Structure 1
Amino acid sequence: MKIQPVQTSNAPNAIGPYSQAVTVNGMVYTSGQIGLDPESGEMVEGVEAQTHQVMKNVQTVLEASGSSLYQAVKLTIFLQDMNDFATVNEIYASYLREPFPARSAIEVAKLPKNALVEVEAVAIQG
């Protein structure tokens, strides 16, 4: 079993000692993605814009690993405020298709760089 790191300049760089994702045995495990614009390195404003950016970042990392959101089996959403769930859920759904992956949504006290939403994924490669 060999763990392979995934790195793409089309998504925000890791801001610590971790990989954007790793692959092992045909599976992809992404690190959490927040609403950072990969070109500017700046956080986009507002929960709607952050959710779109997060989903684009997750998709980009999955594509760099040879996968996609359509091959995701489990996504975890972290929210700074559960009152944003309906908005995030609507945007999130626009990036997916049936059969939808399993999902958890969790309210947390704080996210890196004061993000409003973060998403991590587990997906099948290939």
Structure 2
Amino acid sequence: MELKEIISKEASPALGPYCHGRKYGSMIITSGQIPLTKEGEYIYEVKAATKLVLKNLISIVEAGGGSKNSVARVDIFVNSLDDFSAINETYAEFFGDYKPTRVCVQVEALPADVPLEASMLAFAEE
């Protein structure tokens, strides 16, 4: 099997020497996404930031042949666990009845002092 690069036209551009994601067989692994729009604007309000990050991640998963319902795991890194309930509320609205596995940890710092960064592990629906 070949390790293929995934690029989404919907997600914000990579800010460093990495790609949006990789696909190996049916497995899709995304890079971390921060709340950055395609136009280069950072979003700091927690609920709007969470929604944007999840939307960007799903666009990468979809570019690899997956969907919301093929997401196996979401890793979330937050600047402050004080934002945990707002992130949970937005996360629950985004995924609805589907519940991927998840990790959520507080970290010391994130790029541009954004409130969160997240990544996904998903599978293509081929």
1:78, 1:105 within 8 Å by CA — same for their partners in 2?
yes
TM-score by length of 2: 0.93
What is the count of residue pairs matched by the alignment? Answer: 125
Residue 25 (structure 1) aligned with residue 25 (structure 2): yes
1:70, 1:97 within 8 Å by CA — same for their partners in 2?
no
Task: Name the counterpart of 2:15.
Answer: 15
Task: Name the counterpart of 1:60.
Answer: 59
In the alignment, the residues of structure 1 paired with residue 69 and residue 37 of structure 2 have an alpha-carbon distance, to the nearest angstrom, of 22
Task: Name the counterpart of 1:124.
Answer: 123
SS in 1 for 2:109: coil
1:27, 1:122 within 8 Å by CA — same for their partners in 2?
yes
**Segments of 4+ in structure 1 off by > 4 A?**
none
Residue 36 (structure 1) aligned with residue 39 (structure 2): no
Tell me how far 1:99 sits from its aligned partner: 4.4
In the alignment, the residues of structure 2 paired with residue 10 and residue 82 of structure 1 have an alpha-carbon distance, to the nearest angstrom, of 28
Q: Where does structure 2 lack aligned partners over 5 or more consecutive residues?
A: none
Q: Where does structure 1 lack aligned partners over 5 or more consecutive residues?
A: none
Could you tell me the percent identity over the aligned residues?
32
RMSD between aligned alpha carbons? Answer: 1.1
Task: Name the counterpart of 2:2.
Answer: 2
Aligned residue identity for 1:75:
V
2:66, 2:122 within 8 Å by CA — same for their partners in 1?
yes
Task: Name the counterpart of 1:46.
Answer: 45
Task: Name the counterpart of 1:79.
Answer: 78
Residue 96 (structure 1) aligned with residue 64 (structure 2): no
